[in-house]
């Protein structure tokens, strides 16, 4: 370990000691702890009601998807396209006369 | 922070039980070491005890909702402190206050030096105080702090370094005797 790393480690230790000395950890007040546990358990119960856990939700039948409506785009028959094209060409031809 | 469960559960076992919504595990978690440390940390983040209790309660409720999405890639303490940090930010937003915390919680029986140290700590920049408390009071690792604050490891290290420098300067040459060896 380099000298600098040793010094850094020592500083870290001193800072931990400094905070532990001046900022003691106090326990939560007993009545609040009790209230906290109860509110957490209420939340857990609420959450459990809303969402089955432990993979139970995987055992539920998969809801069937609504039948898909098939929408097809009707294309004009090829013959119709040919006829229209011929009409267009003839109109162009006649207009040039 | 080592083993946190008085029931002897490892962190993995506790997480598994919390995810299964085991009431015993949640009761244990709500009063366990992490929550007690979070309670103490919050005492230095918000003005009064009622606020501390409200935020802790909100954080625990958020933990119940979020535990199913917790992937275990970070420690449970990181998960809990991240949620708490959001709640603290919400608290200050609701208050629409941008001023820094001025009141300090002085416990009966605290020595004059400790009160002085707390005053020094509360004069520091908010983010510096936060990072020092996380590192040296709560005992979180630099990697955990980085994740909680949404910084890179280097960024968190650099912030800690600046925070230490500000603390050193605020304590001054006549500061606490335990600080004399701070480089």
pLDDT tens string A18-40: 999 998 888 899 999 999 999 99
Chain A residue with the nearest C-alpha to that of B37: A25
Query: Which of B4, B18, B23, B45 should we substitute to test contact with A (largest number of A Cβ atoms within 10 Å)?
Result: B23
Q: How confident is the model at residue B180 (pLDDT cuts 50, 70, 90)?
A: very low
Average pLDDT, chain B: 85
- Say whether residue B112 is in contact with chain A using an 8 A CB cutoff: no
CA torsion, points B127, B130, B136, B141, in degrees to nearest 10? -80
pLDDT attached to residue A48: 83
**Would you say residue A77 has pLDDT above 50?**
yes
Instruction: State the DSSP code for B73.
Output: S
What does the pLDDT look like over B155-177, one tens digit per residue?
Answer: 999 999 999 999 999 988 765 54
State yes or no: pLDDT of B6 exceeds 70: no
What is the band of A56 on the pLDDT scale with cuts at 50, 70, 90?
Answer: very low
Interchain contact B19–A (C-beta under 8 A): yes
Q: What's the pLDDT at A73?
A: 58
Mark yes or no for CB contact A14/B44 under 8 Å: no
Are the C-beta atoms of residues B43 and B52 closer than 8 Å to each other? yes
Q: What is the mean pLDDT of residues B99-110?
A: 63
| A80 touching B (Cβ < 8 Å) | no
The answer to whether the Cβ–Cβ distance between A40 and B65 falls below 8 Å is no
Question: Is A54's pLDDT higher than 70?
Answer: no
**Torsion over CA: A62, A66, A67, A70 (sign):** negative
Q: Check: CB of residue B70 under 8 Å from CB of residue B19.
A: yes
8 A C-beta contact, residue B142 and residue B78: no
Span B18-23, average pLDDT: 94
Asked if the Cβ–Cβ distance from A21 to B114 is below 8 Å, we say: yes
Residue B130 has pLDDT above 70, yes or no: yes
The answer to whether A41 contacts B27, with C-beta atoms less than 8 Å apart, is yes
- Cβ count near A16 (within 10 Å): 14
């Amino acid at each position: 370990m380099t000298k600098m790393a040793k010094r850094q480690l020592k500083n870290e230790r001193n800072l931990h000691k400094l905070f532990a000395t001046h900022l003691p950890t106090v326990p939560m007040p007993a009545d609040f702890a009790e209230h906290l546990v109860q509110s957490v358990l209420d939340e857990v119960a609420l959450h459990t009601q809303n969402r089955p856990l432990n993979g139970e939700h995987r055992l539920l039948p998969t809801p069937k998807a609504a039948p898909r409506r098939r929408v097809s785009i009707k294309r004009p028959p090829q013959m119709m396209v040919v006829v229209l094209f011929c009409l267009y060409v003839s109109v162009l031809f006649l207009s040039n006369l | 922070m080592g083993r946190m469960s008085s029931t002897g559960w490892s962190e993995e076992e506790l997480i598994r039980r919390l995810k299964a919504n085991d009431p015993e595990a949640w009761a244990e978690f709500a009063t366990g070491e992490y929550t007690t440390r979070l309670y103490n940390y919050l005492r230095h983040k918000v003005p009064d005890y009622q606020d501390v209790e409200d935020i802790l309660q909100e954080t625990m409720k958020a933990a119940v909702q979020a535990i199913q999405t917790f992937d275990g890639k970070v420690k449970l303490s990181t998960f809990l402190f991240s949620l708490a940090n959001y709640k603290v930010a919400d608290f200050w937003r609701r208050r629409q206050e941008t001023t820094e915390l001025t009141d300090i919680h002085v416990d009966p029986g605290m020595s004059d030096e400790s009160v002085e140290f707390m005053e020094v700590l509360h004069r520091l920049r908010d983010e510096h105080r936060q990072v020092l408390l996380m590192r040296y009071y709560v005992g979180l690792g630099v990697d955990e702090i980085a994740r909680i604050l949404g910084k890179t490891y280097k960024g968190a290290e650099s912030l800690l370094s600046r925070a230490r420098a500000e603390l050193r300067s605020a304590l001054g040459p006549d500061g606490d005797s335990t600080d004399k060896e701070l480089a």
